[in-house]
Amino acid sequence: MKRLLPLLTIAFLFAACQQQGHTPKPRGYFRIDLPEKEYRLFDRPGYPYTFEYPVYANVVKDSLFFGEDTENPWWINLEFPEFNGKIYMSYKQVGGKNALDKLVNDAFKLTYKHTYKAESIEEEAITLPGGVSGLFYQVAGNAASAKQFFVTDSSNHFLRGALYFYAQPNADSLAPVTRFVEEDMRHLVNTLKWRPN
């Protein structure tokens, strides 16, 4: 019996070390049902641009920029209430204090201010009929704004857009909605038309 007790103790300890412990499930995210893609025309009188935007978004006039009046009355936000997100769209007329190189440089700075949280920033050239060009930015990682763009005709019009969600930036949990809204941003850009001055 004296020999059996140490052998049983060793066998018990060996068996206990071999047992699988409880493995917690990985963290999951809520399922998001995405609506069908359908677009309508933004064509308000007095605005220097038109474009198509999704029916599940609302166009809201923006009158303040960091607590100050906007530069002109054509700044708008495209709100996505279902996703708690917004595309901030700022329009500027090219010329005078708004020289094209300054506007492009400002758009670059506003995108690259996310560098400290971004894993990478990819730039994709935009070229549309009618001499419209610009850049589409893809900001990877847990940055506050994952998708941004600017487009211009280089002589009169400059439009910048930046997508934000009112949630803690988490690229993994926001990925399905970010990809979904990115399609809408690209559709907006591809259907953009300037009105003559």
Residue showing tokens 């029916």: 55
CB atoms within 10 A of CB 187: 16
- Distance CA(187)–CA(133), nearest Å, equals 15
Q: How confident is the model at residue 191 (pLDDT cuts 50, 70, 90)?
A: very high
Write down the pLDDT at residue 51.
96
CA atoms within 13 A on the CB side of 36: 1
Across 163-175, average pLDDT: 79
For the stretch 117-160, pLDDT in tens is 667 889 999 999 878 899 999 888 787 788 999 999 999 999 99
Can you tell me the distance from the alpha carbon of 174 to that of 142, in angstroms, rounded to the nearest whole number?
9
Alpha-carbon span 81 to 73, nearest angstrom: 23
- Segment (H or E) for 30: none
Residue with token string 């303040």: 64
User: What confidence score (pLDDT) does residue 10 get?
Assistant: 65
Q: Could you report the per-residue pLDDT of 38-86, keeping only the tens digit for each?
A: 999 999 999 999 999 999 999 998 875 555 666 788 999 999 999 999 9
Question: In the predicted model, is pLDDT for residue 176 greater than 60?
Answer: yes
Neighbours of 37 (CB within 10 A): 12
pLDDT at 174: 82
CA 134 – CA 152 distance, rounded (Å): 6
Average of per-residue pLDDT values in the chain:
84
Least confident of 53-62, 174-183, 184-193: 174-183
Backbone dihedral angles phi then psi of residue 75, each to the nearest 5 degrees: -85, 135
